[in-house]
């Protein structure tokens, strides 16, 4: 099966500082792949590379089409939904406006309306708060809103940057349960970055482990989970 | 009493102009976080364009939209060509560029059309109505046009997808890009809208004063005061602020005159109107930096 996303020899730079040295990975369509690693390993940077948000060398292909060097908004328009670190809420806009902004590039307004219904089905709380200023939502609700904004793009691939960050365990469980539903029902492939390795390996089918900007191991999620050496040295549990 | 009403009415009329200019300032501020010091000169330049169009035999109501559109393109062009390379530059560099633009448009107007004053006739028909004694038709026309402009802008930002995208791009550029919005173009669009609004302000003020390269210098200050009073982040507030400043400057001068008449002591009069504007700016910045209607964003962390 052809890879949905294929990255080869990624290097990334913040000014003079090199954050990624040689990262390669590939994503099968339909699956959930997770990038694991400690703080500063380059997980967030890898996602930012895919979306053209950081100076990058190396090749990135989406469905065989090279996307490295393209502008962020053009990559997004190819069907990549990015749920960013820090959730990226439009705090002064209402919840409904946040969702409508995300559908800005959609040509088919009927389909966008249908997706809005789907989003409200996944996250009923957002429907209840549709007129509320988004900055007043709780952290968990803002995370739901961030995922929903990505969904409103009708993406093929969703990049999720630590959706569990700073949230209560019960909320995290709910969000991960819905992510699984989105993956299977809406047929959205996912690349998930997580610090919470146990949780991510539970959800994902494939895993890559990063350390200081390099891939140190990869494989089926189950294999990574069962490899005690890896778990102890890289994942810390 | 009659004089008081007259002062308030003429204050409202001046306020309409300040409101227009304040609106243009806010437009650029919300989309780029900068105060465009060249806004007044751009408006003056547009007023000259209207004058030129009139000279060529166009009617005012045809010239205004044409010039507004042309000014829109100038605004977009300035953003794309001059400001785009400065997107990551420190704010001081941008300020210097604005002052440069101010000088350029000032000199350009002088070089093309000369420094002698010109007149633009009022586009509004002369008619008499109840209260004609207090306020002229041009003044009424200015107020009506300003209010219409505000309503149109409000509708644009509130109800159209493009307006929503512009607000989103202004507020959180990174997230807007992740929604597929071309943020750079939204900034250019903001500049274009500001220039078009400025064109309306310039061509409305020109019949009330005379057309010359310096005509906007003090008006920009009032517009700035208006934008600050209303809240530099709020278009509706800017318009209200413009009207407030217009009325306030007249009332204070009126009270000063009254005081002089009764006590013989001269405290403040027509000559100090500009000072009043500056005092308003300082007072607002000290006491309520977000202005009367400025949004203090609620954020939960």
Among the listed ranges A150-154, B64-68, B102-106, B115-119, which one has the minimum average pLDDT value?
B115-119
Identify the CATH number of the domain in which residue B195 sits: 1.10.3470
Indicate whether A29 belongs to any domain: yes
Indicate whether A104 belongs to any domain: no
pLDDT bracket for residue B233 (50, 70, 90): confident
Compute the average pLDDT of residues A186-193: 95
**Closest residue by Cα to residue B178 from A140, A29, A50, A61:** A50
In this complex, do A104 and B181 lie within 8 Å of one another by their Cβ atoms?
yes
Identify the CATH number of the domain in which residue A9 sits: 3.40.50.300
Exposed, middle or buried by CB within 10 Å (0-12, 13-18, 19+), for B105?
buried
Among the listed ranges A69-78, A107-116, B9-18, B48-57, which one has the minimum average pLDDT value?
B9-18
Report the alpha-carbon distance of residue A124 to residue A178 in Å, rounded: 12
Indicate whether B300 belongs to any domain: no
Indicate whether A220 belongs to any domain: yes
Give the mean pLDDT of chain B: 88
* Interface check A54 vs B, CB under 8 A: no
Helix (H, G, I), strand (E, B) or coil at A59: strand
- For B14-28, what is the HEC assignment? HHHHHHHHHHHHHHH
| CA quadruple A216, A220, A223, A225: dihedral, nearest 10 | 80
In this complex, do B182 and A73 lie within 8 Å of one another by their Cβ atoms?
yes
Indicate whether B191 belongs to any domain: yes
For residue A106, pLDDT over 70 is answered with yes
> In this predicted structure, what is the pLDDT of residue B297?
52
Report the alpha-carbon distance of residue B58 to residue B72 in Å, rounded: 19
DSSP secondary structure string for all residues of A19-39: EEEEEEEEE-TT-EEEEE-ST
Q: How many structural domains does chain A have?
A: 1
Indicate whether B250 belongs to any domain: yes
Q: Is the pTM of this model over 0.90?
A: no
In this complex, do B297 and A53 lie within 8 Å of one another by their Cβ atoms?
no
Taking contacts as CB-CB distances below 8 angstroms, the residues of chain B near A135 are: 297-300
> Which chain B residue has the Cα nearest residue A88?
B175
In sequence order, which residues have a C-beta less than 8 Å from that of residue A215 and are 6 or more positions away? A22, A23, A24, A25, A208, A209
The count of C-alpha atoms lying within 13 angstroms of the C-alpha of A56, restricted to the half-sphere facing its C-beta, is 27
In this complex, do A73 and B295 lie within 8 Å of one another by their Cβ atoms?
no
Taking contacts as CB-CB distances below 8 angstroms, the residues of chain B near A97 are: 164, 167-168
User: Across the A/B interface, how many CB contacts are shorter than 8 Å?
Assistant: 82
> Which chain B residue has the Cα nearest residue A105?
B180
Indicate whether B144 belongs to any domain: yes
Indicate whether B248 belongs to any domain: yes
In this complex, do B297 and A92 lie within 8 Å of one another by their Cβ atoms?
yes
**Minimal CA separation from A21 to chain B, in Å:** 25
| Two tokens, residue B140 | 């009424």
> In this predicted structure, what is the pLDDT of residue B281?
82
Domain carrying residue B102: 2-124+135-287
In this complex, do A101 and B181 lie within 8 Å of one another by their Cβ atoms?
yes
Give the mean pLDDT of chain A: 92
Report the alpha-carbon distance of residue A117 to residue A231 in Å, rounded: 40
For residue B50, pLDDT over 90 is answered with yes
Strands (E), B110-233: none
> In this predicted structure, what is the pLDDT of residue B130?
65
Other CB atoms within 10 Å distance of the CB of residue B213: 21
* Interface check A53 vs B, CB under 8 A: yes
> In this predicted structure, what is the pLDDT of residue B273?
79
> Which chain A residue has the Cα nearest residue B299?
A135
For residue A143, pLDDT over 70 is answered with yes
Indicate whether A35 belongs to any domain: yes
Long-range contacts of B127-135 (CB under 8 A, 24+ apart): B131/B9, B133/B2, B133/B6, B134/B2, B134/B5, B134/B6, B134/B9, B135/B6, B135/B9, B135/B10, B135/B12, B135/B13
Q: How many structural domains does chain B have?
A: 1
Indicate whether B67 belongs to any domain: yes
DSSP state of B85: G
Q: Which pairing describes strands A32-36 and A206-211: parallel, antiparallel, or unpaired?
A: parallel
Compute the average pLDDT of residues A227-235: 78
Could you report the per-residue pLDDT of B261-293, keeping only the tens digit for each? 888 887 777 777 788 888 888 888 888 888 887
Indicate whether A227 belongs to any domain: yes
For residue B86, pLDDT over 70 is answered with yes
pLDDT bracket for residue B61 (50, 70, 90): very high
Domain carrying residue A173: 5-86+155-235
Nearest to B180 among A76, A138, A139 (CB): A76
Other CB atoms within 10 Å distance of the CB of residue B127: 8
| Two tokens, residue B198 | 């400025």
**Minimal CA separation from A203 to chain B, in Å:** 24
Indicate whether A127 belongs to any domain: no
For residue A235, pLDDT over 80 is answered with no
For residue B295, pLDDT over 70 is answered with no
């Amino acid at each position: 099966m052809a890879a949905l996303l294929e990255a080869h020899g990624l290097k990334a730079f913040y000014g003079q500082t090199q954050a990624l040295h040689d990262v390669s990975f590939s994503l099968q369509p339909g699956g959930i792949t997770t990038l694991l690693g400690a703080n500063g390993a380059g997980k967030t940077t890898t996602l930012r590379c895919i979306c053209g948000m950081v100076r990058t060398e190396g090749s990135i292909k989406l469905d065989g089409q090279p996307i490295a060097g393209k502008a962020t908004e053009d990559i997004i328009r190819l069907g990549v939904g990015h749920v960013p670190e820090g959730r990226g809420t439009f705090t002064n806009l209402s919840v409904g406006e946040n969702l409508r902004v995300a559908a800005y590039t959609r040509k088919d307004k009927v389909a966008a309306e249908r997706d809005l219904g789907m989003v409200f089905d996944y996250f009923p709380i957002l429907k209840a708060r549709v007129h509320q200023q988004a900055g007043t939502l709780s952290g968990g609700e803002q995370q739901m809103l961030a995922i929903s904004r990505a969904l409103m793009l009708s993406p093929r691939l969703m990049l999720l940057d630590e959706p569990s960050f700073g949230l209560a365990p019960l909320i995290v469980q709910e969000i991960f349960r819905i992510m699984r539903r989105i993956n299977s029902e809406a047929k959205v492939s996912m690349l998930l970055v997580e610090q919470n390795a146990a949780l991510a390996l539970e959800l994902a089918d494939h895993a890559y482990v990063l350390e200081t900007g390099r891939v140190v191991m990869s494989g089926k999620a189950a294999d990574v989970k069962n490899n005690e050496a890896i778990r102890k040295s890289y994942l810390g549990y | 009493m009659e004089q008081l009403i007259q002062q308030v009415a003429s204050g409202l009329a001046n306020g309409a102009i300040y409101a227009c200019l304040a609106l243009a300032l806010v437009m650029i501020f919300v989309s780029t976080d900068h105060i465009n010091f060249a806004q007044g000169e751009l408006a003056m330049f547009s007023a000259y364009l209207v004058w030129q169009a009139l000279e060529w035999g166009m009617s005012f109501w045809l010239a205004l939209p044409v010039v507004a559109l042309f000014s829109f393109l100038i605004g977009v062009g300035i953003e794309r060509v001059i400001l785009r390379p400065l997107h990551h530059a420190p704010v001081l560099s941008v300020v210097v560029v604005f002052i440069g633009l101010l000088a350029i448009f000032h000199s350009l107007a002088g070089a093309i059309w000369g420094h002698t004053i010109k007149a633009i006739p009022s586009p509004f028909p002369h008619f008499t109505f109840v209260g004609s004694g207090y306020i002229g038709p041009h003044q009424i026309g200015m107020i009506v046009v300003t209010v219409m402009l505000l309503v149109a802008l409000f509708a644009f930002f509130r109800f159209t997808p493009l307006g929503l995208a512009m607000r989103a791009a202004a507020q959180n550029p990174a997230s807007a890009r992740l929604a597929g919005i071309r943020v750079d173009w939204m900034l250019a669009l903001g500049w274009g809208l500001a220039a078009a609004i400025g064109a309306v302000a310039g061509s409305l003020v020109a019949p009330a004063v005379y057309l010359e390269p310096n005509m906007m210098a003090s008006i920009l200050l009032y517009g700035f005061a208006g934008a600050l009073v209303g809240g530099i982040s709020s278009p509706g507030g800017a318009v209200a602020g413009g009207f407030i400043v217009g009325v306030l400057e007249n009332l204070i001068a009126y009270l000063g005159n009254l005081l002089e008449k009764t006590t013989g002591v001269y405290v403040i009069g027509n000559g100090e109107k500009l000072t009043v504007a500056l005092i308003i700016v300082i007072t607002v910045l000290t006491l309520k930096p977000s202005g009367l209607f400025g949004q203090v964003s609620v954020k939960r962390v």
